Amino acid sequence: MINYSSPDLTQHPPRSVRVRLGGYTHLSRLLDKARATLAGKGAEYHYNCPLDQHFFSFTGINHEVMLAEIKSGKTDVQILEWVGSQAKRLPYEIMAWSAWLEQNGPGGAPGHEWVAETLKKHGSARNDIRSFADLLDLDDYLSYGGKP
């Protein structure tokens, strides 16, 4: 059984970008990565990566301040309450931003090249990967023993 209060990302991936907490897409994944990083079990996952930075930019929360809140041992619900007190975003803004983040794709050539390289690395011939969320879900699956 996975212990999300102290995830070991050397054994399993973080939750999907698509798992929402309080309407926020990616927040659950960000929490998993932060907790694993604090425990020294982050594997190849990085807290405050570019996807995390989209969350911090949208909410106006400083990543170091958030990490301190997570380090204090707060649960997902307690962190969500804290995010709500800091972010001051309306529900429709959270819904729109979350929908955008789930569909956000590589845009220019460098992003497309990175997606193609990631697919090649795994030997995947998938041609339906359109967003970073798609790619991360596939990468997590393949990195932990899934078949291409």
Tens digit of each residue's pLDDT (9 = 90 or more) over 39-52: 999 999 999 999 99
Supply the angle between the helices 109-121 and 132-143 in degrees, to the nearest 10. 20
Three-class DSSP category at 42 = coil
What Å distances lie between residue 64 and 9, 52, 60, 71, 122, CA to CA? 21, 12, 12, 10, 33
The domain limits of the chain are: 8-88, 105-148
| pLDDT tens by residue, the chain, 148 residues | 778 788 999 999 999 999 999 999 999 999 999 999 999 999 999 999 999 999 999 999 999 999 999 999 999 999 999 999 999 999 999 999 999 999 999 888 988 898 888 888 888 888 888 899 999 999 999 989 888 8
**pTM for the whole structure:** 0.92
Distance CA 37, CA 45 (A): 8
Q: Which residues of 60-90 are buried (b: 16+ CB within 10 A; e: fewer)?
A: ebeeeebbebbeeeeebeebbebbeeebebe
Distance CA 69, CA 72 (A): 5
Write the DSSP assignment of 94-130 as a string of letters.
HHHHHHHHHH----SHHHHHHHHHHHHHTT-------
